[in-house]
Each structure stands twice: as C-alpha cells, then as structure tokens.
Structure 1
Amino acid sequence: LNQIIDDMRSQLAQAKQEVAVAIADERKLRRQVQDERDQTIDWERRAKLALREGREDLARQALLRSQEHGEHAATLEEQWRGHASETEKLKDTLRQL
C-alpha cells in the first residue's frame, strides 16, 4: 500500500512538472505572437515613412517584411491556440488528481 501511495505521489509531482512546462511554453508562444505582431506594425510604419520620403523601393521592401511577419504571427497564433487548449486539458487533469 505504501508503494502505491509513493507511486501516486511521484506521478502527481510529474504531472505538476508537465503542467508547469506546458504553461511556460504557452507563455513563450504568446510572447512570440505578440513580437511578430509588433514587427508587422513596425514594418508598416517604415513603409509609410519610406513613401513619405519618396522611396517607393524601400516601401515595397518594408511591406514585404510586414507581410512576412504577419504570416508568421498567424502561424504562431494557430500553434499557440492549440497549445493553450492542450495546456487547459492538462490543468483539468491535474485538478482531478
């Protein structure tokens, strides 16, 4: 009986560790999404500035960079949403233990 209790405690500790790692990963992904969104906005700003300066070539390059960051943000956001859902499931499972 003591061995069963020890095993259960060990499993609980492992589950808590897995949830903590999942939460940290989720937060990291969320920060990455925000960073990419910020970069998108920054490159859009640079494109507008280049147009005001009459530098259409630089504006095009800036818009391409903005688009790249926007697409990357969308990809990361999709990953983040999936990860957030899995993290919630892990939290629920841990609560049930």
Structure 2
Amino acid sequence: MWDWAYLIPIIGVSIPIVAIWTSHQRKLAKMQIDATVEHTAEKAAQYASKIQTLEDRVQVLERIVTDRGYDIATQIEALRDTRKVEESGSGVPLNMERKERA
C-alpha cells in the first residue's frame, strides 16, 4: 500500500517549486502595475496639456467678450466681408479689350 515515507520527499520538492512560482507571479504583477502607472501618468500629462490649451482659448474668448463689449456680430460680418473680397479677387482689373500697339 501507500507508504508515508514517500510523502516527505514530494513535499520537500513541492515547497521550493511553489515558492519559485509565487515569486514569479509577484514579479509579473509588479511589472503590470508599473506599466499601468506609466501609461496612466502619460495619459494624465496629455490631458493636462489639452486642458491648458482649452483654458487658454476660453481666456481669449472671455477677453474678446469683456474688453470689446458685445461687438461680436460686427466682427463676424467683417470677416464675411473679407472673405467676399478674397473670393472676388483684389487689385486692379485688367482691361483686356485694349491691346498694346507695337
């Protein structure tokens, strides 16, 4: 039948194997945590940069509204007028009917 004497060497070999496996699992978990922390810090820096850009844009908009009053509609119309000038061309129109005489 079964002899208990065989159990002692099996346990003696099993304990170091389990200890090595547990140590390896801890190292893997630590590496995953470190990678997650690094990725999270990178994302936080990107978000902080985007937030700063948006805050700067909001400050500019606030300055436009408060410094110049509510003249925004006039400014928009002025931009539209500029586009019309650019679309139609600028400068002196050429008179193509008169040709040069040599």
Q: TM-score range by the shorter chain?
A: 0.3 to 0.5
Query: Higher RCO, 1 or 2 (CA under 8 Å, sep at least 6)?
Result: 1
TM-score calculated relative to the size of structure 1: 0.46
Normalized per residue, which structure has more helix? 1
Q: Please, what TM-score do these two structures have when normalized by structure 2?
A: 0.44
